[in-house]
Amino acid sequence: MRILITGASGTIGRFLSRHLASEGHHVTALGRTPPDGAALDFARFDLFGAPPRLPDADALVHCAFNHVPGKFRGGEGDDPDRFRTLNVAGTGALFRAAKDTGCRKVVFLSSRAVYGDARRGETLRETDDPQPDSLYGEVKLDGERSLEALCDGQFCGVALRVTGVYGMPPGLTTHKWTGLFEGFRSGAETEPRCGSEVHGEDLAAAVSLVLRTAKHGFEVFNVSDLLLDRRDLLTLVSECSGLAGALPARAASRPGVMDTSKLRRLGWQPGGRDKLKAFVDACNAAT
């Protein structure tokens, strides 16, 4: 399959492009500069520029997003209107260009933020009414709706509502918890937090799966694996390293948990606690 991918040099895009290329797909990275260290074809593209002219392809995977570096929620910085305009208009133009070019399938990396944070401790299902309470969540939901509006019998779209993503991104030497782990080993105090996570490799497997199985229309899938309290994560770090750092208290509340049974019925099998432990072991061995 000929697959275009935006955001290939980002954390998620690195996992996806490597996985799809390893399966034998012809992957072309779309962006302003070629992704470093990745043996991918490249086509110049600016999500926030003029309506794009895309290379011929069978499918598009859209990961790119304009935000303050290191932030998603709250990533609009001091100009929320520009944040909304760039991401909503740019994403809509990209989806239209993909359809006009002849792409048959589009996978959009959406977010659990479309559900909002009000339903703490509840189960979140794809059939629930989205109620985003952040600009980030609103923009992601707008992206879903712009894709859905284009879908028909010849053009299908999939929105993956993704939770937090962990793991060592291919080509990089740091990860989302690098600072957390280093602070814990040095004895720094850690703020309590509980979140949901999925390994980047398991997210990539989900993208590959829906690219193979999507046939027509528009579908939404939740993508999440673990509900993870920082106390449990750092306990695992302590056990792997033999260091007795100061563990944080358990978080006072738990986020809503996304039901992933719809994706699992297609055959998706994330790595769970075993994969988390293997990752922590690898991080410890590298220190």
Report angle CA 197, 167, 65 to the nearest 5 degrees: 75
pLDDT tens digits, 58-70: 999 999 887 554 5
Does the residue 266 lie in any domain?
no
Residues 95 and 35 in one domain: yes
Measured from the Cβ of residue 141, the count of other Cβ atoms closer than 10 Å reads: 22
Residues 52 and 91 in one domain: yes
Does the residue 265 lie in any domain?
no
Residues 32 and 142 in one domain: yes
Residues 99 and 186 in one domain: no
Please give the pLDDT value at position 154: 92
DSSP letters for 249-271: PPPSS---EE--HHHHTTT----
Residue numbers of the chain with a pLDDT score lower than 70: 37-39, 67-79
* The residue count for the chain: 287
Does the residue 110 lie in any domain?
yes
Residues 6+ apart with CB under 8 A from 24: none
Please give the pLDDT value at position 182: 93
- Domain limits at 45? 2-166+198-223
Please give the pLDDT value at position 37: 66
The CA-based diameter of the chain, rounded to the nearest angstrom, is: 58
The rounded distance, in Å, linking the Cα atoms of 5 and 35 is: 11
Residues 206 and 98 in one domain: yes
β 194-199/164-166 pair status:
parallel
Q: Is 162 helix (H, G, I), strand (E, B) or coil?
A: strand
DSSP letters for 68-84: STT-BTBTTTT-HHHHH
Does the residue 171 lie in any domain?
no
Residues 69 and 36 in one domain: yes
Dihedrals phi, psi of 253, to nearest 5 degrees: -140, 160
Please give the pLDDT value at position 273: 97
Residues 108 and 191 in one domain: no
Encoding tokens for residue 256? 């809503």
Does the residue 172 lie in any domain?
no
Does the residue 29 lie in any domain?
yes
- Cα torsion for 163, 19, 206, 274, to the nearest 10°? -70
Q: Kind and range of the H or E element at 124?
A: strand 123-124
Residues 210 and 70 in one domain: yes
> Which domain CATH number covers 33?
3.40.50.720
Please give the pLDDT value at position 73: 53
The rounded distance, in Å, linking the Cα atoms of 77 and 84 is: 11
Residues 120 and 240 in one domain: no
Residues 189 and 81 in one domain: no
Encoding tokens for residue 8? 């290939």
Residues 61 and 161 in one domain: yes
| Whole-prediction pTM | 0.94
Does the residue 143 lie in any domain?
yes
Does the residue 173 lie in any domain?
no
Dihedrals phi, psi of 229, to nearest 5 degrees: -85, 140
The total number of structural domains that make up the chain:
2
Residues 82 and 160 in one domain: yes
